[in-house]
Chains A and B, each alone.
Chain A
Amino acid sequence: MSSTKRYWQDLSELDPAGSPVKATTAEFNEPMPLDQVLADGGIAGSTTSRRDFLKFLGFSVGAATLAACEAPVIKSIPYVNKPEEITPGVANWYASTYYDGEDFASVLVKTREGRPIHVQGNPRFGVNRNPGTGKSAVNARINSSVLSLYDSERLQGPAEVSEGNMAQRSWADADKAIGDGLAKAAAAGKRIVILTNTVISPSTKEAINVFKAKHGLKLNTGDPAVSASVGGTVDHVQYDPVSYAGIASANLKTFGKWAFPSYDLTKADVVVGIGADFLSNWGSTTENTWQYTSRRRPEDATTARPMSRHWQFESRMSMTGANADKRVAVRPSQMPQLVLALHDAIASATGNSGAGKGQLPEGIAAAAARCAKDLLAAKGKSVVMCGVNEEGVQVLVNSINNMLGNYGTTIDMANESPFFRGNDAAMAQLVKDLNAGTVGAILIHGVNPAYTLPNAEEFKAGLKKAALSVSFSSHADETASLCNWITPDHHWLESWGDHNPKAGTFALTQPTIRPLFDTRQWGESLLKWSGQDNDWRSFVQTVFKGTTGASWEQSLHDGAYQGNAAAKEATAFTADLADAARRAMDGVKEGEWELEVFTTEALASGLHANNPWLQELPDPITKVTWDNYISISPEDLSALTGKSFKQLYIGQESPANLLRVTVNGISMELPAVMSPGQAPKTISVALGYGRGANGERVGRAACLRNPDGSPAPVGQNAYPWTTLRGNTMRYEAMEATVEPTGRTYAIALTQTQMTGMDRGSIVKETTFTVWALNKPEEYNPPHTLRVHEDVNKDGVIDARDQVPATSINLWAEHAIAETGHRWGMSIDLNACIGCGACITACNSENNISVVGKDEVRRSREMHWLRIDRYYTSDTHEDTEGLSWAGKLAGMEKPSADPTVIFIPMMCQHCNHAPCETVCPVAATTHSEEGLNMMAYNRCIGTRYCANNCPYKVRRFNWFNYVTEDFSQVNPAWDELGRMVLNPDVVVRSRGVMEKCTLCVQRIQEGKLEAKKEGRPVKDGDVQTACSAACGYGAITFGDLNDTGSAVRAGRDNPRGYEMLEEVGTAPNVTYLVKVRNAAEGDNHQA
């Protein structure tokens, strides 16, 4: 039936030889070497005939079929002697405490058959507990830490390192060698140094004292400010990789205490952050966040306790800045000036002496003046927090807070925080001492100076000079691999411990699994080396009973003991303001390009780099995963590269531009990511990346491997750009050079620089003033559709004939609205700070695969829950003087000083779900309880549902992400890593669609508990992983048919709206309009 007619695409096709068209249309680009194979007897020489081949084929198919019919014998091994508290299939929860030197939280650990699989906040107790929601805040780093327990690159036992070779040793060998080494150091009259992060454990402090008593004189007062310089034989040096020494040092000057203050944001009507990302990475974030959000719900506002007003001055758009009512972009060199200006304004208004005027550009000066006015209006009910790690600046900030009368109300220096006592000067001195050879032995716990110090090389050289160096690290990391001995500490989930996070409060850590490897708690090691054979548990118990006198069992059950803090008199504030101003301005000069380094929500100081959940957690603002990068304003990047914004957008096929940055003579090439709101001519680079660059085994996810086995670190290490100036580590540099390289680098983002495009049903935001008018139709108008019917009865059918979108329905009403359960969610955009703790909680609960950078780049990330970030634009639908196309282009472009809004987005569980109607095999259907169900084993992978989902929340398994191909990034494939899997949720395989189930396994469990107890399901009984993780009440889950439930209250709230309601999907998820406490003069999109 072939046509005789031929069509030519190209004249060259007429030429039988070498037609380019032919080459492109042929199935194979190169001719198959069939003739060759036939000619040289390739087939004839074979002993297998075609018939034989077919026989084998038939036999193997038949054999495989028959073999498949026979079910394999499955073995089942019960306990020989079942522990009383374990019922297979039922989870046990243990109260415990997380502390890693940076984050602190009271938590509950969920274990199944003895394996910890999930971490969430302790709802009964903790400094992180939000009494308003009855939940406790944890961040992504804390709830992800359960995965790092099952890191197969953890050390399996004590090891001796000599000349770069590591050899496994027994504890007896290690104890003997280290004991000898310590004795030798003492005999030689050399110092023994214990280097740690900030220690808040009474037991550890006691153990250090025991160690000191054994090995040296106790001249140490416990005050790290002087610890290094006192001539005892044993010194305890505390060093925080990301330092707060500037604040501690300022407090030493003004209050006589080397300490970080204890903030209480619940009492703050006005919160001012100056370069302090206090919701994400600055201070005690698990406390800051819930306290902050507890003042952000407009419904809770009263005259006496209004909704707080949040000012943020910062260089890069931080998560905290995104939450601010008014955010001002300030370059690092302008920060001290800004503090001076604020100080001056407040001093003059309160009749105090100033410290000089700040030199600020007009816009910032005006903002500072307005901010000062706000602060003055909230005397004693405001707080200024500043992230500049410099003593002078911090003295001025203290002075501002003092003039405002904030000490004793929002800031407590009488009962100061025990966190962040690290001393940069002591650390610097230690490096000098090491190089001078006066340190005979050094024991390192919890810190990694060979990675985090800017003068790491100097430290490494010095470390070699210490005759004995011991690391307690769980990995042979940058520092540990250079020590003589590594005596690995337990993971925190295997540990006993106590903590004193606040005066009078004692939190306990208890093990939730028997140690996986032959490790030992470092406190126990210290005791052992002091000649004491106590096991750590009984030591902690003794110390705990000694300090508190409380019941050990009860406290262990609760996770903590809350005693009464002895009332302390606050010390009077004293300051030499002139000196402070001089110090603050010392070395401050405006550079062409300025650099700021920061820590991210995911990796913090780099401690969590081995955790793939965190590596794949998108940055709250830039949504970048698996890399650090240069955050730069779109205008600057455009000017540098000569490309338009559109050309600069990063996608699967459009990589980021590489820029070369040189600071202090150190150059690095990093990809540039546009971040609207970044201060002009300022770049920001994240710390914590580039681990394991020298091939150290720091965890598979921290440092991937090239095919040849060489290390391929994730991102680059920016610590060399930090500098020690004066007595503190500085995280900004005023003289940087930035130049384009003309090269590109692929980077994985989960969302591009999106604006809301004026679509009122995605982003709804208003101001407190508008909200307070109590007219929802003003700030939350229902979406209307034009109908061809005279609904307004004006006699004509025209554009004014509109009805609410929700009144039009193609589908029959579902009965679920009034019968049985109706599970739903309400998401309060005012309480959502964008932190992403819900994402990692979801990962952990629902066995969500990590897919790695390459797959994320192809938009194949598997997160069931994402947090969308939208910028505002300067152009709007009603902007005049623009064509429609011009408006569209303008609306796409975020403004240079945008407002940012976070929207948690997961399956909306639409009652009229577009995905359900298109599934050809009914793999996704609707339940009578309002859930959009997904039966994986029925799914054939057409992906029609994903295409038809207006929310784009469905995720497709493009590959078998739980196989060895993804071994580097996905822990679920490896024997150890799969221990973190939740046995109640199926692990999905290739070709299957998946999405948020509203944690149906938890719903089923909650209903079953209620049935067994013969009672209705109580509100709050069933929590999804995300709602349990969100201590701020941004995500509320429950039964919408339960009229008294919190989620119903959310749905009935006048702020409530349905995402994309005009589509008519009738979701069971409600969003509450974001209300900002914006004032006149804020560039806010009303």
Chain B
Amino acid sequence: MFLVHRLLKRSPSLFSTAALLTFLLVAGGASAQVDQAQYDSGEKLFKANCGSCHKPDKDMTGPAVAGATERWDGKGDLHLWIKDSQGYIKSGNAHAKEIFEKWNKIVMPTQPLSTEEIDAVLYYADHFATVNSSKAAPAGAAEPAAAATPTNNWVWWAITGLLFLVVLVSLGGVRSQLSNAVREKHGLPAEAPLGTWGRIRRWAVRNKGWASVAVLLIVVWLVVMLWNWMFNIGVYGGDKVAHYKPSQPIAFDHSLHAGKDNLNINCQYCHSGAEKSRHAGIPSANVCMNCHQAISEGPKTGTAEIAKIYEAVGWDPNAMKYSGEQKPIVWNKVHNLPDHVYFNHSQHVAVAKLECQKCHGPVDTEMDQVQQWSPLTMRWCLDCHNTTEVKVAGTDNGYYEEIHRRLTQTPMGQRELRKYLEDEKITVRELGGFECAKCHY
């Protein structure tokens, strides 16, 4: 007990640190409890019955559903109100009348829902924000699953290292206490306490060789870290640095337009250059007008953002005609390659038939505001060129058939082909995808 007492006296912070760590670990493991079944059935009902006028967490044509229970608390029967709003107003509820007037007297049709179903919908709306924020957090990092493993590893290493350090320091203390106890017993005066740093210094002075090696290792490690860090300067996207996600003059929501569960518009409907040109292109506003001539109000931002398109093309939604006054939209460019790089979309889209998401990430599912997903560094390009297979034989593309024919026809070609096929596939690299003048001219 004596020793423990001494230890506690010497380093009171030690135990609090350990306690904090334990707490954090436990807290990290725990998560908010959501009744998933209730939530899911509520979501389904909401999308089927309410979604065209309501949003769970935001006002749209009607008010946000979340918090409705609270808002109605003590003011009337929310379930009756939802089932038959007009009837409920007629029954004389003041709050119902107030809401009706506040929301421009838009009639909410009767809803054939049971009380349990309404509860499910309300449950869904109330928990929508919580569930989505916990979903969004891992989505910020690159591949949620892939990214999690190294992060966790790192944390565990840090904790182990920290514990090891704590043990080391404590043992040092214990050792000096023991040695002092021994000295006390032998009647020698106790050594003046050196402190942790002092002991390290003494050790270093006594073991110059090891100290040098340790310092050298630390310096090398720092240099390597610096070197690796420098590779990320000016890089956006990828899983190491933040994704570039500039604000845009119009809050265009890609996930709404291209998402499978939403409008599911093909990427190339708007980015029509991707198949024909080096530039996928930002669609001109007249492309927006193909649909938005009819759709003047969206589910998220209402008329505010769509009105900006109208302003750009000079469309008067009330008179339903063009004024002729145009004002170009100044977007903030998200994906930017240096001038000395030539990249051609059509090569990758029309010939290689790559999915847009391969480089641009889950634009259709996760990006309301578009961000640079991939780092767009040369290493990133080459990594893909190094591994991606190009089908040269048995395709209906006469170009590659001809390339294949030339490879099989001559002894030199056959030799090359054998070399290519060492890894059993012909990659972009082997067809010249690593050469400078493929992209730099």
Contacts and interface: CB of A to CB of B under 8 A. Distances in A.
Interface of A: 68-69, 71, 73-82, 87-90, 813, 815, 817-820, 923, 925, 927-929, 931, 933-938, 984-987, 997, 1000-1001, 1004, 1007-1008, 1010-1012, 1014-1017, 1041
B312 A80 contact: yes
A819 to B, nearest CB: 4
Contacts of B351: 1008, 1011-1012
A82 B328 contact: no
A117 B342 CA distance: 19
B53 interface: no
B70 to A, nearest CB: 42
A1014 B397 contact: yes
B166 to A, nearest CB: 37
Interface in B377-422: 396-403, 406-407, 409-413, 415-416
A78 B440 contact: no
Contacts of B170: none
Interface string B284-298: 111100000000000
Nearest to B398: A1015
Interface string B303-336: 0000000001100000000000011111111001
B399 A938 contact: no
A77 B282 CA distance: 8
Interface string B214-243: 000000000000000000011010000000
Interface residues of B, number: 63
A1000 B406 contact: no
Nearest to A1015: B398
B402 A1016 contact: yes
B80 interface: no
Given A818-B413, A1014-B396, A933 B246 contact: no
A984 B284 contact: no
Contact of B236 (A71, A76, A936): A71
B342 A1001 contact: yes
A925 B403 CA distance: 22
B437 A1012 contact: no
A462 B284 CA distance: 56
Contact of B340 (A69, A820, A986): A986
Interface stretch (B99-107, B111-119, B272-280): B272-280
B276 A87 contact: yes
Contacts of B344: 1004, 1008
A1008 B234 contact: no
B437 A997 contact: yes
A985 B341 CA distance: 10
Contacts of B333: 73-76
B412 A88 contact: no
B431 A1015 contact: no
B346 interface: yes
Nearest to B312: A80
B326 A80 contact: yes
B289 to A, nearest CB: 9
Contacts of B287: 82
A71 B396 CA distance: 43
A76 B244 CA distance: 15
B416 A819 contact: yes
Nearest to B415: A815
Contact of B342 (A71, A74, A87, A984): A984
Nearest to A76: B333
Given A90-B276, A928-B432, A1015 B399 contact: yes
A933 B282 CA distance: 32
A360 to B, nearest CB: 57
Contact of B285 (A68, A69, A80, A813): A80
Contacts of B406: 818-820, 1041
A392 B279 CA distance: 64
B436 A1016 contact: no
A1007 B435 CA distance: 15
B292 to A, nearest CB: 14
Interface centre among B331, B399, B401 (most CB of A within 10 A): B399
A75 B407 contact: no
B399 A78 contact: no
A1002 B246 CA distance: 35
B279 A89 contact: yes
Nearest to A1008: B347
Given A76-B282, A90-B277, A1012-B351, 11 more contacts: A77-B331, A78-B284, A81-B284, A82-B287, A88-B273, A815-B416, A818-B412, A928-B435, A931-B437, A937-B340, A1041-B406
Nearest to A83: B284
Nearest to A938: B436
B432 A927 contact: yes
Contacts of B416: 815, 819
A820 B273 CA distance: 29
B336 A820 contact: no
Given A78-B331, A1011-B351, A985 B441 contact: yes
Interface string B259-277: 0000000000000110011
Contacts of B278: 89, 984
A997 B441 contact: yes
Nearest to B349: A1012
A973 B300 CA distance: 47
B285 to A, nearest CB: 5
B399 A1017 contact: yes
4 nearest interchain CB pairs?
A89-B277, A933-B437, A1016-B402, A82-B284
A1000 B435 CA distance: 12
A1015 B401 CA distance: 8
Contacts of A1011: 347, 350-351, 397, 399-400
B424 interface: no
B347 A73 contact: no
B284 to A, nearest CB: 4
B283 interface: yes
Q: Pick the most buried of A73, A89, A90: most chain B CB atoms within 10 A of its CB.
A: A89
B87 interface: no
B193 interface: no
B339 interface: yes
Given A937-B440, A1016-B398, A71 B277 contact: no
A80 B313 CA distance: 6
Nearest to B314: A80
B350 A81 contact: no
A820 B401 CA distance: 11
Interface in B68-108: none
Most buried by A among B244, B312, B342: B342
B399 A986 contact: no
A926 to B, nearest CB: 9
Nearest to A69: B233
A915 to B, nearest CB: 13
Contacts of B332: 73-76
Contacts of B328: 77-80
A994 to B, nearest CB: 10
A1008 B400 CA distance: 11
Given A935-B437, A986-B441, A71 B234 contact: yes
A820 B412 contact: no
A1010 B273 contact: no
Given A81-B286, A1011-B351, A89 B410 contact: no
A937 B342 CA distance: 12
A67 to B, nearest CB: 12
B399 A1014 contact: yes
B438 interface: yes
B117 to A, nearest CB: 46
Contact of A88 (B281, B402, B415): B281
Contacts of A927: 432, 435-438
Contacts of B411: 818
Contacts of A90: 273, 276-277
B412 A89 contact: no
Given A817-B412, A938-B436, A986-B339, A78 B398 contact: no
B407 A819 contact: yes
B214 to A, nearest CB: 31
Contacts of A933: 435-437, 440
